[in-house]
Structure 1
Amino acid sequence: MNKLEKLLRENEFEIDSLSLQNFEDYRALLVETNKSLNLTSITEETEVNYKHFLDSILPLKFFDIPKNSTMIDIGTGAGLPGLPIKFVRDDIKVTLMDSLNKRIKFLDTVIGELNLSNIEAIHGRAEEMGRNLNYREQYDFAISRAVSRLNTLLEYTLPFVKVGGYFISMKGPSGREEYEEAKSAIEILGGKLEKIIDYKLDYEDSERSLLIIKKIKNTNKKYPRAGGKPKSKPL
């Protein structure tokens, strides 16, 4: 049993040989591509195992995602958390979205090299794609990791979620503080906080929190706003 398999099993993830191979092939592509394209500052094996792989899939341990759900990973960057989630839960139909086309080309390479199905990488800005009817309110789940403050992030993400679906915001120790400043945005955009889950990543005693926000009504058509307003003038 290699280090990654041992780590995942210790955290109650049962994975088969294909899933494990996907993690290792993705790691190799990530490290190699990172030499010419800045995808991540984390490339050492143990750090990747904890800070990228385990960290990305821990939401699956703490929150139930039904079989065959649809999920969009907004601001996915190098494919995190979307790709590790796909490796562990192949039934989930995943969309990886990022505003930098170089990253999308890398993700397309990963998808092709690993022969993944029911997953796509799309190039676009959340402010624009959230108004596109092909994507707006089309997903059971939206997820985002290390993108921006919650009061800004909500305007980028909730427009993609169906009524009855959820936005899962992956945060560090500032999660509860960010929730307090985002209460108005949650309500305006049609959401309601269901729960906050605090936990630790078993590496350098890193504190984490998941903010689970349920979509209870349609988002007003004027959101997301264009021109960088979600960031410059958060709701």
Structure 2
Amino acid sequence: METGENDFDEAAFVETLTSATVAVGVPLTPEQTAQCVTYARLLLETNAHTNLTRITESREMAVKHFADSLTVLAAFPPGMGASVCDVGTGAGFPGVVLKIARPDLQLTLLDSLKKRLTFLDSVCAALHLQDVATVHANAVDAGRDPALRDRFDVVTARAVAALPVLLEWCAPLVKSGKRFVAQKSGNVDDELAASVDAAYALNVRLVDDRALTLPAIPGSDEPPATRRVLLYEKVAATPKGFPRLAAEIKRKPL
């Protein structure tokens, strides 16, 4: 396997992406695959001077960034044009990949670092993605902003914090009756147990818990990665006291 950060192997990426997306149940069209290639190239070019990802090998990127992002689509509600917010989007996973697969989505990419959003603006322009907004804010400030609170049909987050904290960050952004999808790695049973009180306080309930194994990475001795996709439904409005201040959330998680 290659190791150089800027040594993008397009053929290996496309071959791995094609098989991996079929394996996770979301095959891409040739046009969507080409968009992913452009995205991956831009990511590696920018990563050479701006820290966006530690995953830089072409096959590993195809599986752990792109195919992994698509595993949450099964949790999306039926219908077209859902409003989606990707919290702590980082380099744009899963948000941008979801937009590539589902161009009808109205996507908001939320992150606290401006340099990441500058990169994502350039990606969306290069891929000609429409109905994408980038928001420079942390999740606490976003959840207190009337323009963002109770706004989204689906909120996604990819392993950016422990589950009790993640719920307090994300639940306020979700419309009542709509969904929050958390992507977590490996065994999260302890986190789930620790998040029961948080879910109750925030008026969300766990409605699905999917364990899955990502496809193996060709040429790698690393065992296939395991994931948990946790689907929460917001059953009532978030109480006005949430989210609390960031320092309080950190000091005393729900």
Shorter-chain TM-score bucket reads over 0.9
Counterpart for residue 171 of structure 1: 184
Counterpart for residue 156 of structure 1: 169
| Distance in 2 between residues matched to 1:210 and 1:229, nearest whole Å | 27
Counterpart for residue 120 of structure 2: 107
Q: Match of 1:130, SS?
A: helix
Deviation at 1:16, TM superposition (A): 2.0
Structure 1 position 9 matched with structure 2 position 22: yes
Structure 1 position 206 matched with structure 2 position 219: no
Structure 1 position 63 matched with structure 2 position 75: yes
Q: How many residues align?
A: 234
Deviation at 1:154, TM superposition (A): 0.6
Segment drifting more, 42-51 vs 15-24: 15-24
Counterpart for residue 153 of structure 2: 140
Counterpart for residue 128 of structure 1: 141
**Alpha-carbon distance change, 104 to 163 in structure 1, aligned in 2, over 3 angstroms:** same
| Distance in 1 between residues matched to 2:20 and 2:192, nearest whole Å | 31
Deviation at 1:14, TM superposition (A): 3.1
**Structural RMSD (CA):** 1.4
> Percent of aligned positions with the same letter in both sequences?
34
What letter corresponds to residue 118 of structure 1 in structure 2?
Answer: D
Counterpart for residue 94 of structure 1: 107
8 Å CA contact 1:161–1:167 kept in 2: the answer is yes
| Distance in 1 between residues matched to 2:24 and 2:209, nearest whole Å | 20
Counterpart for residue 220 of structure 1: 239
What letter corresponds to residue 229 of structure 2 in structure 1?
Answer: L
Segment drifting more, 220-229 vs 28-37: 220-229
Deviation at 1:64, TM superposition (A): 4.0
* Aligned counterpart for 1:117 among listed residues 126, 130, 135: 130
| Distance in 1 between residues matched to 2:226 and 2:249, nearest whole Å | 27
Counterpart for residue 197 of structure 2: 184
CA distances 1:81-101 after superposition (whole Å, capped 9, x unpaired): 101111111111111100001
